[in-house]
Structure 1
């Protein structure tokens, strides 16, 4: 899942690139199992072909909406911190992105709940000087390490140490 180098400016390099933890796919996996089980149960309980076709069509719609769509969103959404900016990108066909220059970021915090601790992830909170104020990145794997790396890069930037960006 490396960030495309063609999207980096000269002298810019990736500090951290990640996506949402795979725990976000637990719900869709359960929906898939339930949809398959429902179709199997309906197909064995009833002898009607019409009921089977309707159940199959409904199951396909449910799987596309509650399984395939979240899987595509998960696999195409990335969060990247470079030595100059934060970049959130998402989308398969229609792309969407948000960029915040590092010098506009005023803080990077993390929150880890009980369930997050079990999965080894948490929420990274990026605060900036914009009117939107903060960006919450939920279910980031190894969130404490990511927060430490980004904070270190912010400190390097604020102290005037530009050894990593070609200056």
Structure 2
């Protein structure tokens, strides 16, 4: 899925578009499995009891309501946050947008970027992810966590910055 064209300037081209690394979805996926197993266990146990129909139905309803709340809060919400988080490099700027109900973001013009760094530990190296650190002319360094293939993104961003500076410094 490409980044929406309505946020791009005329003639601006997307060079790279990434969501955070899928490792952010491991916890929510485990919570989905655990909540489902717990709900199935409680429902199965309630089904073995010699309660009258309405009491069993109340237990099933309460179990389903708790399951829906847990799955919505601990699984669906993190997935939608992951889905609505965008790290985009264009031929003019770096954009970061995140948030589901309240959106926020930052744009960094390529010409203002002073340095680009990356950092990743052993687990991040195994999963091919890491933190990208961008230092611009007017701000403290910005850290973007869980960027997939961070070394490739670092190299690509460095080349885009170099190309931008090269075109601005060369006489037209």
In which range does the TM-score fall when normalised by the shorter chain?
0.7 to 0.9
Rounded Cα–Cα distance in structure 2 between residues aligned with 1:162 and 1:35: 58
Structure 1 unaligned spans of 5+: none
Q: 1:118 aligns with which of 126, 129, 133?
A: 126
Task: Report deviation, 1:89.
Answer: 1.9
Task: Report deviation, 1:68.
Answer: 0.5
Rounded Cα–Cα distance in structure 2 between residues aligned with 1:120 and 1:161: 33
Rounded Cα–Cα distance in structure 1 between residues aligned with 2:98 and 2:25: 16
Task: Report deviation, 1:85.
Answer: 0.9
Q: Residue 71 and residue 162 in structure 1: after superposition, are their counterparts in 2 closer, same or farther (change >3 A)?
A: farther
Question: Which protein is bigger by CA-based radius of gyration?
Answer: 2
Match of 1:140 in 2: 147
Q: Residue 162 and residue 146 in structure 1: after superposition, are their counterparts in 2 closer, same or farther (change >3 A)?
A: farther
Task: Report deviation, 1:98.
Answer: 1.6
Structure 2 unaligned spans of 5+: 50-55
Bigger relative contact order, structure 1 or 2, given CA contacts below 8 A and separation 6+?
Answer: 1
Match of 1:24 in 2: 24
Does the aligned pair in 2 maintain the 1:13–1:83 contact within 8 Å? yes
Match of 1:151 in 2: 158
Report SS of the residue matched to 1:160.
Answer: helix
1:109 aligns with 2:117: yes
Higher helix share: 2
Task: Report deviation, 1:51.
Answer: 2.9
Aligned residues: 163
- Please identify, of 63-72 and 153-162, the stretch whose mean Cα deviation from structure 2 is larger: 153-162
Q: What is the RMSD of the two structures over their aligned residues, measured on CA atoms?
A: 2.1
